[in-house]
């Protein structure tokens, strides 16, 4: 299996193949606009602006599994993130990342990069770094600030 074998739903509910991102360095993040960690959107946007022309993409997956912090509709989430944090990276449809309804992509990410206390995602803003060949090379827990993984991204670019 590789990351390119998965399909996900965009913010409008349409299927998107992860193969569309072949050859790109990806940072895949489960997010929530009402989370205390939401200011990380600003740092994510800064990384995106700095490296997108070099083949870097951020894939944002809102998730309402942690404290009901992504409770709005996708339109509300998009408007909020665009207005407050000025995000321009790709946002997908709301997902579950743990449990029986977790989407296959996140099951795969967790199987490739678990953590010391099990593979479940603990909170919003867990980040997975994927190289240009589609290999999941690192997992960063929610408190890891995006700017602290910039060197990891640069190495893959």
86 is written with which tokens? 């000025």
Longest dimension (CA), the chain: 38
Among the options 35, 81, 107, 115, which is catalytic? 35
The DSSP symbol for 133 reads T
* Cβ contacts of 41 within 8 Å, gap of 6 or more: 31, 33, 81, 84, 85, 87
* Cβ-contact 63, 74 below 8 angstroms: no
Neighbour count for residue 113 (Cβ, 10 Å) = 17
35 flagged as catalytic: yes
The DSSP symbol for 125 reads T
The DSSP symbol for 12 reads T
Q: Which residues are catalytic?
A: 35
């Amino acid at each position: 299996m590789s990351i390119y074998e998965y399909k996900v739903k965009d913010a409008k509910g349409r299927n998107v193949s992860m193969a569309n991102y072949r050859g790109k360095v990806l940072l895949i993040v489960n997010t929530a606009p009402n989370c205390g960690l939401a200011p990380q959107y600003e740092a994510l946007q800064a990384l995106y602006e700095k490296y997108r022309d070099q083949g870097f993409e951020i894939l944002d997956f809102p998730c309402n599994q942690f404290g009901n912090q992504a409770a709005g509709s996708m339109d509300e989430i998009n408007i909020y993130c665009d207005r407050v944090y000025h995000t321009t990276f790709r946002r997908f449809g709301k997902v579950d990342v743990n449990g029986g309804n977790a989407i296959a992509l996140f099951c795969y990410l967790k199987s490739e990069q678990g953590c010391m206390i099990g593979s479940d995602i603990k909170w919003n803003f867990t980040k997975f770094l994927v190289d240009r060949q589609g290999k999941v090379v690192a997992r960063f827990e929610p408190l890891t600030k995006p700017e602290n993984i910039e060197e990891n991204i640069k190495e893959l670019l």
